Amino acid sequence: MSDIRAALRRQSIETPSWAYGNSGTRFKVFAQEGVPRDPYEKLADAAQVHAFTGIAPRVSLHIPWDRVDDYGDLARHAADLGVRIGAINSNVFQDDDYRLGSVTNPDQAVRRKALDHLLECVDIMDLTGSDTLKLWFSDGTNYPGQDDIRARQDRLAEALSAVYDSLGEGQRFLLEYKFFEPAFYVTDVPDWGTAYAHCLRLGPKAQVVVDTGHHAPGTNIEFIVAFLLREGKLGGFDFNSRFYADDDLMVGAADPFQLFRIMYEVVRGGGYGPDSGVAFMLDQCHNIEPKIPGQIRSVMNVQEATAKALLVDGGALAAAQAAGDVLGANAVLMDAYNTDVRPLLAEVREEQGLDPDPMAAYARSGYFEKIRAERVGGRQAGWDA
């Protein structure tokens, strides 16, 4: 049990800056009180999540949503708050020029514009001390014959190669995939296999990121995780939940058993721990839950799934599998999943000098009342800022 406690204390989960801004549906972005107005205030909110959970020390940035004049100053501000800049996320989907795609657009000038933005994000990595660039492309087509499918893959490969060559020592990029939306006929990076093929061609600085909401219904995500770990190409997760498609709900909300199964494969495959190279990142931005408590609850959901995965009796499981004991092997997993790990996690937090109940501690802190009173006027951050 001491080994499990130590492993839980080493866990690190990255929260996204955009989760602290206003968000919504395709029809409406809903405003909330106390929402940050700039990246500095987003970092302040993220620091609260880390202060109460103890395992959220990194914050992802999204460019241009988090563009500032002095990225070095932003990184220093993060350090002063007790956090640091995590992955830099590019944005080549919110400009009118990208209506027919960004790096796969048939127009060379548009492709150049998109690539320049990706290279700018590499520069921002240098300025903030980030080691990870996250790439997601909305590129694709809606109609048969709209564009040459193979040519678009050639353009994608050319752009990825240019980005790869610009990475410095200790830097990498993670390639995200999504099987549909906003492109409905062909998406240029629709699945893990396409992302894996491009990353394999480029080399060790290119890895795949698994967004848990970006799969067709019924997809066995834990198989994808196991395969990519085996090949050394799993770079990280964008954790969220989905009932139908890319719902971006809080991680563990829709199917906590799936989250446990994923985390078991992570632990089994050597993807857990500070030296694994696998980043646990949240990517969820919905509209009805309060921002900071929503992130705290999400971090706790990942913690609970991880604790259960660490409790799996590997020896008993291997023995049952070798003996062909189907029910016995399943029972080993189910015993771990059905364990109430909340008392264990409360003890771990107390050992770290934290309140055993992060949600209640944040509610008592008065932080929300403070920012609600102070953050009056100006433009609240959201999907477009």
Q: Which domains does the chain have, with CATH numbers?
A: 2-374 (3.20.20.150)
Dihedral (CA of 91, 77, 350, 49) sign: negative
pLDDT tens digits for 146-196? 999 999 999 999 999 999 999 999 999 999 999 999 999 999 999 999 999
Q: For 218, phi and psi rounded to 5 degrees?
A: 85, -5
Our measurement of the distance from residue 92's CA atom to the centroid of its chain's CA atoms, rounded to an integer in Å, reads: 18
Give the pLDDT of residue 350.
Answer: 98
Q: What is the mean pLDDT of residues 299-303?
A: 98
User: What is the widest separation between alpha-carbon atoms in the chain?
Assistant: 67
In the chain, % of residues over pLDDT 70: 99
The H or E element spanning position 281 is: strand 279-282
Q: What is the mean pLDDT of residues 37-65?
A: 98
Q: Where are the beta strands (DSSP E) in 5-67?
A: 13-16, 23-24, 29-30, 58-62
Give the pLDDT of residue 230.
Answer: 98
Find where tokens 């795949």 sit.
208
Residue 384 has pLDDT above 70, yes or no: no
Of the candidates 3, 19, 73, the one whose C-alpha atom is nearest the C-alpha of residue 283 is 19
Determine the residue type at 61. Answer: L
pLDDT tens digits for 107-139? 999 999 999 999 999 999 999 999 999 999 999
Find where tokens 């909110």 sit.
45
Which structure tokens are listed for 172? 């990498």
The pTM of the full predicted model, rounded to 2 decimals, is 0.96
Residue 36 has pLDDT above 70, yes or no: yes
Query: What's the rounded Cα separation, in Å, for the pair 114 and 112?
Result: 5
Cis check for the bond before 343: say yes or no (omega within 30 of 0): no
Burial class (CB in 10 A: 0-12, 13-18, 19+), 147: buried
Q: Are 266 and 225 in contact (CB under 8 A)?
A: yes
Determine the residue type at 214. Answer: H
